[in-house]
Amino acid sequence: MKRVGIPRALCYYEYAALWRAFLETLGLEVVVSPPTTRAMVTAGLQRMVAETCLPVKVYAGHVCYLRDAGVDYVLIPAIRATEPGLFHCSKFLGLPDLIRAVVEECPPILEMDVDIGKKRRDLQAVIRELGKTLTWKPWQLDAAIQAAWRAHLDYQQQRATLYLPRPPRDDKDTRATIAVVGHPYMLYDSYITHNVLGRLQRLGVRVVTPEMAPADGLNDGIIRLTGRKYWVYEGEVTGAAGYYLNQPEVDGVVVMVAFGCGPDSTMLDVAQRAARQQHKPLMSLVLDEHTGVAGLATRLEAFVDMLTRQRRGA
């Protein structure tokens, strides 16, 4: 049985269930790399130029792990556009080529070129095209696509709380309610974020994330802050910030982005301006491989203490 590796980074947190169900229904063994470790980060740092953002460096480290695990293929998508007229980070656009260039002896790459702006390049069309290279049985391919789509829809419903270290608290049992906004590959990789979500929960905070916000709320948040949507996955930062800044039960917002990411730096600035206008506390966490846990923990504790005093004095 052929083994296909899936890096636990970047788009994994959006499409993990879809990829697994699709490949397993086709009779392939799926090997998902474990949560990020120091060795993976080191492997990625050794292969990327300094200016590359941390999530992409981490992705390269996960691919190195899968290569050493002896997988036959690695699944690496190129997400160009999920909606017409939107822009995406160049690292995502050329991810298969980038990994092929920097990871020596990389296993053969199963590419998925998702570009909704082109005819027949939506997600279902792309996985069907990929499936034709893995099986010659039309009935098996149809079954795999149906299984993948069912798994993807179920996963989207569960994703709101799936990656939280602890179950969400009730608002009455918390010191404060904090919205932590950012891309899933930042929020839910506890190694590169030094477990920010878990630290906040241990401080008695009720944590809400972009996945917990309604889709209409995210879209309204984007319109409120920028007037229109410019970036793929903008809802995870600008949309979530715009939504939670207008929720009375949310005491403060933490925006978590990667150092060196152009789109993230723009979206962070927009969120900061909106927070100042609405007089709601906002803390930015700009992370890279040099971020120290002591300073980060101190900032989180101070932010929670401030919100707690503010809540008591309200």
pTM: 0.90
Strands annotated E in the chain = 3-6, 29-32, 73-81, 109-115, 176-181, 205-208, 252-258, 282-287
DSSP character string of 116-182? TTSTT-SHHHHHHHHHTTT-S-HHHHHHHHHHHHHHHHHHHHHHHHHT-SSPPPPGGG-SEEEEEES
Task: Give me the mean pLDDT over the 293-300 stretch.
Answer: 91
Domain(s) of CATH 3.40.50: residues in the chain: 3-160, 165-313
Single-letter amino acid, residue 143: A
Confidence grade of residue 209 (pLDDT, cut at 50, 70, 90):
very high
**Of 1, 71, 58, whose CA–CA distance to 291 is shortest?**
58
Instruction: Say yes or no to pLDDT of 314 above 70.
Output: no
| Residue pLDDT, tens place only, 158-208 | 877 777 776 666 656 678 899 999 999 999 999 999 999 999 999 999 999
- Give the CA diameter of the chain: 67
Task: Give me the mean pLDDT over the 18-42 stretch.
Answer: 94
Q: What is the dotted CATH code of the domain comprising 3-160?
A: 3.40.50
Alpha-carbon span 178 to 207, nearest angstrom: 5
Neighbours of 274 (CB within 10 A): 21
Q: What is the dihedral sign for C-alpha 2, 62, 239, 245?
A: positive
CATH topology for 165-313? Rossmann fold (3.40.50)
Alpha-carbon span 173 to 163, nearest angstrom: 21
Among 47-56, 118-127, 132-141, which stretch is predicted with the lowest mean pLDDT?
Answer: 118-127
Give residue 262's pLDDT: 81
Taking CA atoms, 226 is separated from 150, 241, 270, in Å, by 34, 11, 8
Q: Are 32 and 67 in contact (CB under 8 A)?
A: no
| Residue pLDDT, tens place only, 40-92 | 999 999 998 888 889 999 999 999 999 999 999 999 988 877 777 777 787 88
The label of the residue with tokens 């569960």 reads 158
The mean predicted confidence, pLDDT, of the chain is 88
- Highest mean pLDDT pick, 103-117, 134-148, 180-194, 223-237: 180-194
Task: Give me the mean pLDDT over the 2-24 stretch.
Answer: 92
